[in-house]
Amino acid sequence: MFQTKNPSGDLATKYNLLAKQLDALLEGELDNVSNLSNASALLNQFLENINWCGFYLVKNNELLLGPFQGLPACVHIPLGKGVCGTVAQSKQTLIVEDVHAFPGHIACDSASQSEIVVPIIVDNVLYGVLDIDSPIKGRFSKDDQAGLEQFVSVLTDHLYL
């Protein structure tokens, strides 16, 4: 397991290894759905204390549910609404320590307490967002942000418009 709280391992080193694993896993595959599916499965396998991870993709000027791991989720999210829509609009990663305190939070899973959302930019175009939820308040750190931004950077090398 990818233990984010493990004192015997540096979190940045673990995320670096995860990014390398993603790159190797996606090498040579040109299908975006396959690549996003494997990316969400890899995150789900290695991250602790999460209850949902996956992608929302820009389609018809909104976010549409893409490949994910977890319980069924909201399918359509307007740009600018909720955490995912806010990140899509700002194109900036957002960590929310308590989703219930976030104005306009869209609750797809009542067990979710905290969330991190990272924008996915391909060829200077917003492609979608990576969304990860946790049943623990304050689960995500700045180190998680840096590691997940690195993960998305590698992922974008394997996505095609």
Instruction: Specify the pLDDT at position 51.
Output: 96
pLDDT of residue 2: 41
Say what the pLDDT of residue 9 is.
Answer: 63
Q: Residue 2 falls within a domain, yes or no?
A: no
Number of domains in the chain: 1
Looking at the domain assignment, is residue 5 inside a domain? no
Structural domain includes residue 78: yes
Q: 85 lies in a domain? A: yes
How far is it, in rounded angstroms, from Cα 20 to Cα 32?
A: 18
3 in any annotated domain: no
**In a domain? residue 24:** yes
Whole-number pLDDT of residue 109:
78
Looking at residue 7, its pLDDT comes to 40
Domain containing residue 119: CATH number: 3.30.450.40
Secondary structure, 3-state, 34-69: HHHHHHHHHHHHHCCCCCEEEEEEEECCEEEEEEEE
| Residue-level pLDDT, tens digit, the chain, 161 residues | 344 444 446 899 999 999 999 999 999 999 999 999 999 999 999 999 999 999 999 999 999 999 999 999 999 999 999 999 999 999 999 999 999 999 888 877 788 999 999 999 999 999 999 999 999 999 999 999 999 999 999 999 999 98
Q: Do residues 128 and 120 lie in contact, with contact meaning Cβ atoms separated by under 8 Å? A: yes
Amino acid at 11: L
Residue 35 forms part of a structural domain: yes
The domain in which residue 60 lies consists of 11-156
Please answer whether residues 54 and 148 qualify as being in contact, where contact means their C-beta atoms are separated by less than 8 angstroms: no
Q: What is the pLDDT of residue 45?
A: 95
pLDDT at 47: 96
DSSP-based three-state secondary structure for 145: helix
User: Is position 4 within any domain?
Assistant: no
pLDDT the model gives residue 1: 37
